[in-house]
Amino acid sequence: MTESEYRKLQVTGGSTMIVSLPREWVKANQMKKGDVVFIEEMSSGGLHISAMQSESSKSSVTIDCCKLSDGLVDLLIGAYLSGADIIKVVCSSNIPRKVRKDIRNFLRDTRGMEIGLDEDKEIRILSILDPSELSFQVSINRMYILISSLVNDAYDVLVGEDLELLSDIEDRERQIDARRLLVERQVAAAVKKPVVERNLGTDRFSALEHANIARILERMGDHAARLAFLVRDNSTTIKSKTSEMPLRAIPEWAEQLKILVHNMYTKDVSLIHGAKLSLGRLMKEIEGNESDLWTGRKSSERLFSEFQISESIRRICAYGVNFAESLLNMLMHERIESIE
């Protein structure tokens, strides 16, 4: 079928309502009289009809690593995000050590995947996590905690705390990235499988907005990690005061981000909109401070590091605004009502 079409409901047996299936669809799925179709109700109220007769069917993808010169990790991530339950990495000869290292890195950077078969010419990676078992909120909250900890620890080091607070920046950044990938995998599963959509308590629009929020938080995490690295590597040359911009923005940014995360599900539109306005105001103040920064008399090294810090703080505020906008989109979607 290439286009949508309309079909009338018919009555059979006096009270049973039926609708016929398109002939092209029946032929394409090689169905015949007596076969069973799988019907699922979506959270939107629609029905999804498929030829699958079992909810336990698995999806699989095979990657021939011998035909690749590079880029295996990108293909593994693509298969993961697409919702593949089984990823087979094969080779006509013994799988090279570099490929095995790439697979280990992939497993480190994702969640819910494990090696089920490890042989000379085939490695089989299996999904051990049901995408509907873990709510979106769990991953979003985890990303929020990791981002906040990076920014707050960088701030604390600048006010005199031990540099050891920033000893695991790479690990925290990796965890943020892994959570974003997990959310996108769940969204792909929700879009393709109504049963996952229903179990997650979402619809397709809200699921896609969750993926958007996860990407926004990942970018925010990138700048939080960048800020932490700058502070770690330049703590002796940075002389910015916490009472002045841009460092003065950090406590308020943290408070407004907390409001946004807490209201993802309590859904107070006024608080979300207020947080958006506050973060936008902080951005403007930081931009003004950056203009003044270049007119001051500071060493080039100190000036450069302080400007980079200012830029990262401004960016995390900007991504906070994007976060608020996505939340408002979801809340308005939930309030849409059908009218005659």
- How do residues 300-326 score in pLDDT, each as one tens digit? 666 777 888 999 999 999 999 999 999
136-335 shares the fold of 60-127: no
Report how far residue 220's alpha carbon sits from residue 124's, in angstroms, rounded to the nearest whole number.
Answer: 34
Nearest to 181 by CA among 84, 265, 250: 84
pLDDT at 12: 84
Residue 219: other Cβ atoms inside 10 A: 16
Nearest to 199 by CA among 209, 189, 208: 189
Q: Which residues contact 32 (CB under 8 A, 6 or more apart)?
A: none
The encoded tokens of residue 83 equal: 């919702």
Q: Which CATH number fits domain 60-127: 3.30.110, 1.25.60, 3.30.70, 1.10.8?
A: 3.30.110
pLDDT at 195: 79
Q: Are the beta carbons of 26 and 36 closer than 8 angstroms?
A: no
Give domain limits for the chain: 10-50, 60-127, 136-335
Residue 248: other Cβ atoms inside 10 A: 18
pLDDT < 70: residue spans in the chain: 1-3, 42-45, 52-57, 293-302, 337-340
DSSP 8-state class, residue 159 = T
Q: Are the beta carbons of 58 and 71 closer than 8 angstroms?
A: no
pLDDT at 238: 79
pLDDT at 6: 82
Q: Which CATH architecture has domain 136-335?
A: Up-down Bundle (1.20)
Report how far residue 78's alpha carbon sits from residue 320's, in angstroms, rounded to the nearest whole number.
Answer: 27
Report how far residue 102's alpha carbon sits from residue 115's, in angstroms, rounded to the nearest whole number.
Answer: 13
**Partners of residue 12 on adjacent β-strands:** 16
Q: How many residues does the chain have?
A: 340
pLDDT at 260: 96
Nearest to 28 by CA among 8, 56, 49, 1: 1
In three-state secondary structure terms, 253 is helix
